[in-house]
Structure 1
Amino acid sequence: MQADQQQEPPAEFEFRGSASEYFGIWIVNLLLSLLTFGIYSAWAKVRTKKYFYQNTYVAGRSFDYHATGLQILIGRIIVIAGIVAYTILGAIPLVNLAMLLGLVFLIPYLLVRSLRFQARMSSWSNVRFDFQGSWGSAAANYFLYPLLAALTAYTTWPFVTRSVQRFHVNGHTFGQTKMSFDSPIGPFYKAFLCAALWVIVGLSALLAIVGVNVGTLEAFKSLESGDADIAALMIILSLYGFLIVVMVPALIIYHAMVRNTVYNYTILGDGHRFYSDVSALHLLWISVSNAVVVGVTLGLMLPWAHVRRVRYLANHTTFIPSGPLDDFVGDVSAQVSAIGDAYGDIEGFDIGIAV
């Protein structure tokens, strides 16, 4: 009987929303945000998150998002007030220096608060998530480690990525069930090298283009001053555009491969696992074609593009329980009351940190 319990089938993620449904939410959010000069955008964000959370299912149970527009708005007001105060007081040299030093401590604190807020406002099967990462770990991962990687010409960036993902995953709990992540560095370097290869090929093509245009600069000298300036500007703009074509795909490839590694090495509780088999090239195709369609339609197909990408990621993500899923959820539900009182500590900071 115990052997049968351990053969619980994997539970695939599923997104049940549609582009037409989300378009209705999106267009209303957009219009109301414009009419209220951006104030309604806080409620728009909550409506959007609720739609995508509530339409994402695992084993027949959906996720949910519990924040309110007022919480998001208050958090934004606090952040905006801080920026205004910094701008005004920054004109005083000594005060500006003191505030810059203060930001070194404040930013990691806000990062942790944001992750905690997003976790505690999220649930699956009526069980809330939580985040207990520390300020020190946030400071190390977002300030110290990137600085050290820069000293190695970013050849050690995969170590930074692995550390950041470990900080995110290990800080999260589902109810009181801890999540853990650790993996060898090899998969991160594989992702890094694949992205770097794309950049090298793209930069090689860029240098070839620059070489051709540098050779034609002599011809520009014979043009009128205004015409030469316009021609030079067009070259610069085309080079910036090509850099975007090089760098954005590299980042998408890196993100897709890192995502697979993080999911495949994450453990929930005593052995519940996840699996992701996202194709980097397929995700790149989805991202590029989405951008083209959204651009051609002047943004009207943005809801379709968003739903298309979310559905692909969900369809390639699986939860692999180590025992009966109902028993697991029941155990977690019995434990979750211990963090109920902590919700009163939420301050509404939300700066969009992706986990």
Structure 2
Amino acid sequence: MNAPATLPAFASPADNPDELRLEFSGSGGAYFKIWIVNLLLSILTLGIYSAWAKVRRERYFLGNTLLDGSAFDYHADPVKILKGRLLVMAAIVVANIAVEFNPLLNLVVMLVFAVLLPWMISRALRFRAHNTSWRGLRFGFDGLAWGAAKAWVLWPIAGVLTAGLLLPVALAKQRRYLMNHLRFGQAPFEIDLPVGAVYRVFGRVLLLSIAVFGLLGLVAALLIGSVDFFAASGLDPSSRGAAIGLTIFTAVVVFYLGLALIAPYVSAHLSNLTFNHSNLGEHGFLADLAPGRYVFIVLTNWLLTALTLGLYRPFAAVRLWRYRVEHLAVLPAAPLDDFVAAQEEEARVIGEEAADLLDVDLGF
């Protein structure tokens, strides 16, 4: 599917007085009640209730996400989700038992998983799209396993083999696979994502990484210098060992913290690029996430969740979702009521069964 040369999403928000901002009407307190019940029932049922918990969670977040005054909806059947999860768990258990009898089977299991992964990805995306709707009109996804294999297996392998040089290409291929096979009713989404823009994001990440890990080196040098200073002053061996241990611990914490902060920074940039280069029919999109603000929200969510022993987690989820939703807008070329009036054709029974076969939430 080829995107048009000029997409409506390229228009400036100042030139679009009719832009429709998405809104979120939920609250952390309301979701906390759902989250705590989901958690307790999932524990009491040894995880069986987790399928119903997922449906309740998705319905809360989508049901409170509004576009042009109308909420989204989630229609998944928790029984079908449970069947899919039990099937996956059974496969994992059988694979682990087989490996115990013959370690060489581990290689076979890995190969089988690599072959099945693209199929699972395409089915998962189809499942989520099929079970999401707006104003009664469902989304759809028609990507095939081979396309997923190229986007999620072959290109990432190429990225690793080239020491990361082709990873931006892999990410661009994944975004194209997602958007170019997604539809709303019968209207297809299209994306014209330039790879050069993704490379520019990674250029910023490289500079950010140099700054973060440069700071890491400075902290480590200062700590090591302090150890040497106290050693020269007659620090006893046990205290010297504790100081060296503290140095190593600090270095590891800063290293992983740097990696953890880079991920949401890249995520915010890629979200902006994806939507700002996509369209749905004649309608465009505008995403204006601020990467620095996004990283701050993620970081403070982690901190508050840790300080409250996990109790802040539902508030963190709402806070992050609200920020993502409220920094996304639709740039309509015409009234959306007219667009929705072209209703989706009835899905074939075989298509519905295939869509409901497996649930793996990849979150795109």
Task: Show the counterpart of 1:255.
Answer: 267
Task: Show the counterpart of 1:17.
Answer: 26
- Contact residue 127 and residue 336 of structure 1 kept, 8 A: no
Task: Show the counterpart of 1:328.
Answer: 339
- Correspondence list, 1:24-173, <5 A: 24-91=33-100, 92-173=102-183
> Which one of the candidate residues 315, 321, 324 is aligned to 2:326?
315
Whole-Å separation in 1 of the counterparts to 2:168 and 2:334: 33
Whole-Å separation in 1 of the counterparts to 2:46 and 2:240: 42
Say if 1:296 and 1:329 are closer, same or farther in 2 by CA, change over 3 A. same
Read off the aligned partner of 1:203 and give its amino acid letter: F
Matched, 1:209 2:181: no
Query: SS of 2:194's equivalent?
Result: coil
Whole-Å separation in 1 of the counterparts to 2:167 and 2:191: 18
Could you tell me how far 1:230 is from its partner in structure 2? 5.1
Say if 1:344 and 1:8 are closer, same or farther in 2 by CA, change over 3 A. farther
- Contact residue 70 and residue 134 of structure 2 kept, 8 A: yes
RMSD of aligned alpha carbons: 2.2
Whole-Å separation in 2 of the counterparts to 1:29 and 1:116: 25
TM value normalised by structure 2 = 0.88
Read off the aligned partner of 1:263 and give its amino acid letter: F
Read off the aligned partner of 1:257 and give its amino acid letter: H
Matched-pair identity in %: 35
Query: SS of 1:336's equivalent?
Result: coil
> Which one of the candidate residues 305, 308, 319 is aligned to 2:316?
305
Whole-Å separation in 1 of the counterparts to 2:117 and 2:227: 46
Query: SS of 1:48's equivalent?
Result: helix
Whole-Å separation in 2 of the counterparts to 1:303 and 1:103: 33
Task: Show the counterpart of 1:244.
Answer: 256
1:252-287 CA deviation, whole Å, 9 max, x = no partner?
Answer: 111101100100111112x11111011111111211
Q: What are the ranges of 5 or more consecutive residues in structure 2 without an aligned counterpart? A: 1-15
Query: SS of 2:22's equivalent?
Result: strand
TM value normalised by structure 1 = 0.90
Read off the aligned partner of 2:278 and give its amino acid letter: T
310-319 or 284-293: bigger deviation: 284-293
- Contact residue 155 and residue 166 of structure 2 kept, 8 A: no
> Which one of the candidate residues 288, 306, 313 is aligned to 1:277?
288
Matched, 1:287 2:298: yes
Could you tell me how far 1:114 is from its partner in structure 2? 0.9
Whole-Å separation in 1 of the counterparts to 2:189 and 2:277: 11
Could you tell me how far 1:244 is from its partner in structure 2? 2.3
Could you tell me how far 1:240 is from its partner in structure 2? 2.1
- Contact residue 194 and residue 253 of structure 1 kept, 8 A: no
- Contact residue 63 and residue 71 of structure 2 kept, 8 A: yes
Could you tell me how far 1:350 is from its partner in structure 2? 2.2
1:159-190 CA deviation, whole Å, 9 max, x = no partner?
Answer: 11111100111111111211111122232122
Query: SS of 1:137's equivalent?
Result: helix
Say if 1:326 and 1:339 are closer, same or farther in 2 by CA, change over 3 A. farther
Say if 1:310 and 1:100 are closer, same or farther in 2 by CA, change over 3 A. closer
- Contact residue 123 and residue 354 of structure 2 kept, 8 A: no
